[in-house]
Every structure is written in C-alpha cells, then in structure tokens.
Amino acid sequence: MLPDGTPETLPTTVYNHSALSGAPLRILLLSDIHANLEALDACLAAAPSFDLVVNLGDIVGYGASPNEVTTRSRELGRIFVRGNHDKAATGLMPLDDFNPMASTAALWTRSHLTGENLDWLKSLPHGPVTTPDIPGAQLVHGSPIDEDEYLLSLGEALAPLLTIDLPLTFFGHTHMQGGFFANGGAVDGFRPEYRTVGQAETVELKLKPEARYLINPGSVGQPRDGDWRAAFALFDNEARVVHFHRTPYNLKSAQDRIFSAKLPSRLATRLATGQ
C-alpha cells in the first residue's frame, strides 16, 4: 500500500507468455503455505495448466521447510502480498499477539532462513496489491482494510464487501477455503462442498458479473476447515470461474520434518485433522 493509502500496483509479470492487461489468463492462487513443502509440491502437481501465480502470503511459519518453500515460491512468480507470519519471521512485527506455539515457530524460522530468503521475505509488499494481469481485482492477506484482520464471519466481511469498489478480492489468512459475496440485497458466505476426505477434488464457482466477491483459495500447508488436504484455487479470468481444489499430500513426511526440527509437536499432529 502506498503512503496515501491507495493499493500498490505491480508491473505486468511475464510467465508462459507476455501477459497483456485484460488478456485471458488462468491464475493459480496460493496462500498460507506455511513452510509445508510436501503440500506445496502436491498442489503444483495437481494444478491444471496456468499462466501466472498469485501468492497471498504466509509463505513461512509453522512448518519445517522455510527455505525450500521460499525458494520455490520465488521461482513461481512475482505477484505476492506479505502475511503476518512472513512479517513475524523476519522481525517486522512483535510476537506479542502470537501464541507460544506460533512464536516458537517464528523464532525457529528466523534462525533457519538464509540471509537472502530472509531479506526477500522482508521486502514483500503490504496489501492490498493490484496488478494489470487481473483487472478489477485486488490481492490481500487478511482484509482490504487491515492486512492482519481475519475475515471469518459474514459480519467481518460486510465492511470490505460494501465499501470496496473493486468487484473481486482474493484473500488468505483464515485457512478457510471459500469466501463471501454481495449481490444486490443478498450478502452471504460460501464454502466448496466436497464428496470425499482423501482424494483430489475440484468445485467450480461461476462469478456473477453484478456481484462482489471476497474469495479465499484456502491454505496450502495448514488447512483449518476440518479437511486435511492441501487447498488452492485456479481463477479463469476470461470465463470468470474460480476452481477450488483439494489434494492429498505426503502428510507423514511433512510431520516428520516438524518432529525432526524439534518444533512443537502440535504443529505436526494438527495437520492430520485440518485444524
């Protein structure tokens, strides 16, 4: 965000082809990877073809692969917003509001990041961010109003839904796949409905042209919606469809890394329950 409070605008990014403003693009949406390399690898393997990647923050924190995940994230693209764990792990915010488990992980991450990765994480932009690649959309970690605010309930989502002019906001932070919409007099929340608990699945959401949306692709590395599978989304900006995805990953390997790093064991066991 710029000093006058307007969203920062990133330059057009080049990936598989020259991305022109408003051109048809398939955008891979990743958020809250939390240093879970196994989950990130599974998402990339399961993702359909895409033209560019948007990362909504919390690349590190909790998990035991901060350098591997940061390096992979840097290789994937240049469109990012920072998360609160990215700030905490790089010393940009105090740990006063973190619980002991999160604080321990943030300090461990800070001590294990390479200097290059630490500096890169420290330089991530404050949301909201806009980019010509996705006209009419903004990218945030928490809320368009406050980057660290959780949009967990409809009441919390009302202010950004009703006061932000842009029709589409992609956000993370809550680790809950789904979001909120406002369409005329109707305002409500939604979550994808899946049929299994262990297979790769996709649920589509067709965006209505007259509606406003707050959309969370879910957490790659630490879902908290009761589903242990890694979560991500793909946005087709020409068809105006969001494809929500869940995919299984090597849970035991991710847990073993956490145990081996002597991080709090709860960070490993909670992965199995999606909590």
pLDDT in tens, 117-147: 999 999 999 999 999 989 999 999 999 999 9
> What span, in angstroms and rounded, lies between the C-alpha atoms of 66 and 26?
27
User: Nearest CA to 62 among 13, 116, 10, 103?
Assistant: 103
User: Is residue 63 included in any domain, yes or no?
Assistant: yes
Please state the rounded mean pLDDT for residues 215-236: 97
User: Is residue 168 included in any domain, yes or no?
Assistant: yes
Q: What is the pLDDT at residue 21?
A: 39
> What span, in angstroms and rounded, lies between the C-alpha atoms of 67 and 125?
19
User: Is residue 14 included in any domain, yes or no?
Assistant: no
User: Is residue 16 included in any domain, yes or no?
Assistant: no
Q: Is the pLDDT higher at 209 or at 176? A: 176
Q: What is the pLDDT at residue 3?
A: 30
pTM of the model: 0.90
**Given a cut of 80, is residue 59 above it in pLDDT?**
yes
Please state the rounded mean pLDDT for residues 56-67: 98
> What span, in angstroms and rounded, lies between the C-alpha atoms of 136 and 132?
9
pLDDT tens digits, 146-166: 999 999 999 999 999 988 889
User: Is residue 117 included in any domain, yes or no?
Assistant: yes
179 to each of 68, 141, 151, 241, 245, how far by Cα in Å? 29, 13, 9, 14, 14
Q: How many domains does the chain have?
A: 1
> What span, in angstroms and rounded, lies between the C-alpha atoms of 213 and 117?
33
User: Is residue 140 included in any domain, yes or no?
Assistant: yes
**Given a cut of 70, is residue 9 above it in pLDDT?**
no
User: Is residue 21 included in any domain, yes or no?
Assistant: no
User: Is residue 17 included in any domain, yes or no?
Assistant: no
What is the span of the domain harbouring residue 81?
A: 26-272
**Given a cut of 70, is residue 244 above it in pLDDT?**
yes
CB environment 7-34: b (16+ within 10 A), e (fewer): bbebebbebeeebeeeeebbbbbbbbbb
CATH number of the domain enclosing 132: 3.60.21.10
